[in-house]
Structure 1
């Protein structure tokens, strides 16, 4: 195998309050695959999302005492329909998310909106008619 392999296997989000973060993702219907003292992991389609206490994450990174932020990135979920986007957006708001941009038709021909989770991590919910989803919700570019 040559390095670097073009893949991501784990995304870890630093959170201020692990119990609050777990409650938020549970309200979205997510079930942990592994729950530890300072981290929780969710199995996704060929990928794992981890929530890690920010203080413990900084220590794990070798940066004890560092003030970790949320960074300039967006996580995204694609859906089969605009109605699915709307339903997921409302569920996120009910779980405690902050609306950043309500779902709407967008310039590239799709439909999307943005929210921030309780720690400020930004999620986009989108329907892209040009990128069909697999039966398991996975996305492979055409």
Structure 2
């Protein structure tokens, strides 16, 4: 095995709502779709959304795929070219339906960063160096 990520899968009980958010709010195009699963076009790491039940079925019921998440499960970070782009992007995402979490601010490590959430409360960030 190589220590390199090839796929990030977001587990959910509501693929339709999450698909709409990642497609219409974040702007990901759909690469492929099946019952309970959708994969998006993305350079680099693949991004997919899958129902917990589909994941439980394909793994033979192993693991805790059928139980809901507790707290923040993951974070996606989206780079911007400038602090001004972070501000514009944040305002655009919130206008399209992203849940505002923290408006753009200069972080102690020097980046301009803003935080928003998807329909299930997963908090993501946009940032510029």
Would the aligned equivalents of 1:30 and 1:42 in 2 still touch at CA under 8 Å? yes
Distance in 2 (alpha carbons) for counterparts of 1:99 and 1:107:
21
- Count how many residue pairs are aligned between Structure 1 and Structure 2: 125
Distance in 1 (alpha carbons) for counterparts of 2:57 and 2:96:
29
**2:21 matched to 1:24?**
yes
Q: Quote the offset at 1:120 in angstroms.
A: 1.8
Gaps of 5+ in 1: 129-142
Would the aligned equivalents of 1:16 and 1:119 in 2 still touch at CA under 8 Å? no
Would the aligned equivalents of 1:58 and 1:68 in 2 still touch at CA under 8 Å? no
- CA distance 1:66–1:22, change in 2 (3 Å): closer
Q: Quote the offset at 1:65 in angstroms.
A: 7.0
Structure 1 length-normalised TM: 0.77
- Structure 1 runs (4+) deviating above 4 angstroms are none
- CA distance 1:41–1:65, change in 2 (3 Å): closer
- Partner secondary structure for residue 44 of structure 1: coil
RMSD, aligned CA: 2.0
